[in-house]
């Protein structure tokens, strides 16, 4: 079974092609900085048994353009890994919001597509891109089975006390207003790798996914007990363009006193806030450059970003009544040593202590960056949402 996996995030599209039950992709790539200056596409593939890389730098204003570029590359005759799109049997799509009804990996039918569309208001930066990704993939891979794997699925184990909001229950029953949680594919994958690494199947973990969107989860013995995003991927941590935790009164104030509409608030909190609102930049690499020049706004933004992570580590340790390891992952979590350092500063009361040299080292693969003898491990675990999606596609289609 040859599986092509598409993972569209809010700022990127990642993809991998897995042939015949293999876990090493035959080709993979990323379209980065979608909608920003210097957007680019990096495509890696095997040529004569060796890894070759193609880098294309051109404006990618939106996810549809990005998907079209990926489609062209896949079947480009000079580098094609497959001779014909018909060689792809399955296309696995990461879908951020599955709502109350799409809670498990599923074959995409017209009804599933309709539900993904109905959830646009609850994942405005993601579900529209996913829908376009499905439509584009249906046109390119006409014979393939399209499968949806949901970010929300892993968080279905949250207990009622964690997933309800303290508002009248009618709002849950009538409108499905509850905590769903996101990045579940990634939290699931990295928690699994961390448990293997620690050789501890009952480990108490705090998984920290820091990409353009950021979220944390309390994961005990492989099950999610709590998570920082809520009804939508807006709540919790400070993110690239999203505010995270905010007093709901801020919205009411802006509506009542400043005449803000729902559309203006959606735009403000999802697209103009977070690191972008604080510094003028959403990509952490740009903010790091500002920080190195002594920029005060960048310093405050870094402080706020890391302080919020620390608060959730404390909260989730309480939720689990203990902590074996914290796990950093995704674009920022895997690459930004300063974020890890700041998030672990003065956390020794929880047994968290970094080894500065190990933390600064750039390395591929899973690694332990905690100080020798520290009670709590600090792990960097590269996420691989695409492989997790491929595994889930295989499990679903084998079972049919």
Binding residues for Mg(2+): 7, 385
Q: Residue numbers of the site for ligand ADP (CB under 6 A)?
A: 9-12, 211-213, 240, 283-285, 330-332, 335-336
Residues 6+ apart with CB under 8 A from 13: 6, 7, 30, 31, 34, 63, 66, 67, 70, 133
H or E element, residue 6: strand 3-8
Q: Min. distance of Cβ 86 from ligand UVW in angstroms?
A: 30
- Comparing every residue's Cβ against ligand UVW, the nearest one is 213
Which of ligand ADP, Mg ion, ligand UVW, none lies near 233, with the C-beta cut-off 5 to 8 A by kind?
ligand UVW
Sheet holding 13-18, edge to edge: 50-57, 40-47, 27-32, 13-18, 3-8, 90-95, 145-150, 106-107
Say if residues 231 and 179 touch (Cβ distance below 8 Å).
Answer: yes
Partner touching 96 among ligand ADP, Mg ion, ligand UVW, none, CB below 5 to 8 Å by kind:
ligand UVW
Going by the annotation, the residues of the binding site for substrate are 94
Strands 223-227 and 13-18: unpaired
Site for Mg ion in 179-218 (CB under 5 A): 211
Report whether 112 contacts 106 (CB < 8 A): yes
| Contact partner at residue 183 from ligand ADP, Mg ion, ligand UVW, none, CB < 5 to 8 Å by partner kind | ligand UVW
- Annotated active-site residue 151? The verdict is yes
| Residues 116, 112: Cα–Cα separation, whole Å | 6
Q: Annotated binding site: which residue ranges? A: 7, 14, 94, 209-213, 283-285, 331-335, 385
For tokens 């991927």, name the residue: 233
What is the 3 state secondary structure string of 41-57? Answer: EEEEEEECCEEEEEEEE
Catalytic one of 151, 226, 235, 336: 151
Residues lying near ligand UVW in the complex (CB under 6 A) are found at: 9-10, 96, 126, 151, 182-183, 211-213, 233
How many other C-beta atoms are found inside a 10 Å radius of the C-beta of residue 353? 18
Give whichever of 133 and 211 is closer to ligand UVW, judged by the CB atom.
211
Stretch 252-291: interaction string toward Mg ion, x if CB under 5 A:
----------------------------------------
Q: Collect all residues with Cβ–Cβ distance below 8 Å to 291 and sequence separation of at least 6.
A: 298, 299, 302, 338
9 in contact with Mg ion (CB under 5 A): yes
Residue of 132, 232, 221 whose CA lies nearest to 176: 232
Nearer to ligand ADP, 309 or 319 (CB): 309
Q: Which residue is nearest to ligand ADP (CB)?
A: 331
Q: Judge whether 209 and 329 are in contact, CB under 8 Å.
A: yes
Shortest spacing between CB 239 and Mg ion, in angstroms: 11
**CB closer to ligand UVW, 206 vs 352:** 206
Nearer to ligand ADP, 12 or 28 (CB): 12
Shortest Cβ distance from residue 357 to ligand UVW (Å)?
Answer: 30
List residues near Mg ion by CB under 5 A.
Answer: 9, 211
Instruction: Give the residue numbers marked as catalytic.
Output: 151
């Amino acid at each position: 079974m040859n599986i092509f996996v598409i993972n569209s995030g809010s700022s990127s599209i990642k993809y991998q092609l897995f042939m015949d039950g293999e876990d090493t992709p035959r080709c993979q790539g990323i379209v980065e900085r979608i909608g920003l200056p210097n957007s680019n596409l990096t495509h890696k593939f095997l040529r004569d048994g060796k890894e070759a890389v193609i880098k294309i730098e051109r404006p990618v204003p939106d996810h549809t353009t990005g998907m079209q570029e990926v489609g062209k590359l896949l079947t480009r005759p000079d580098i094609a890994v497959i001779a014909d799109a018909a060689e792809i049997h399955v296309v696995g799509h990461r879908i951020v919001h599955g709502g109350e009804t799409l809670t498990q990996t599923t074959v995409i039918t017209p009804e599933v597509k309709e539900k993904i569309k109905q959830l646009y208001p609850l994942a405005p930066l993601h579900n529209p891109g996913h829908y376009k990704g499905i439509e584009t993939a249906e046109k390119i891979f006409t014979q393939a089975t399209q499968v949806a794997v949901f970010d929300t699925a892993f968080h279905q184990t949250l207990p009622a006390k964690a997933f309800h909001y303290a508002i009248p229950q009618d709002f849950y029953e009538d409108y499905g207003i509850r905590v769903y949680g996101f990045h579940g594919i990634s939290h699931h994958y990295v928690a699994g790798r961390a448990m293997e690494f620690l050789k501890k199947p009952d480990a108490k973990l705090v998984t920290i996914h820091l990409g353009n969107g950021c979220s944390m989860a309390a994961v005990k013995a492989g099950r999610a007990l709590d998570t920082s995003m809520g009804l939508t991927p807006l709540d919790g941590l400070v993110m690239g363009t999203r505010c995270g935790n905010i007093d709901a009164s801020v919205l009411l104030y802006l509506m009542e006193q400043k005449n803000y509409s729902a559309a203006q608030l959606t735009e403000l909190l999802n697209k103009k806030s977070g690191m972008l609102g604080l510094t003028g930049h959403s990509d952490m690499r740009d903010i790091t450059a500002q920080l190195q020049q002594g920029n005060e706004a960048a310093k405050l933004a870094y402080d706020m970003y890391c302080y919020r992570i620390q608060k959730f580590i404390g909260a989730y340790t309480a939720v689990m009544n203990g902590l074996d390891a914290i796990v950093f992952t995704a674009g920022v979590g895997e690459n930004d040593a300063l974020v890890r350092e700041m998030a672990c500063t003065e956390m020794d009361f929880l047994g968290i202590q970094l080894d500065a040299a190990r933390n600064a080292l750039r390395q591929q693969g899973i690694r332990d960056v905690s100080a020798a003898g520290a009670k709590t491990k600090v792990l960097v675990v590269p996420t691989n949402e695409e492989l997790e999606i491929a595994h889930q596609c295989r499990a679903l289609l084998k079972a049919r």
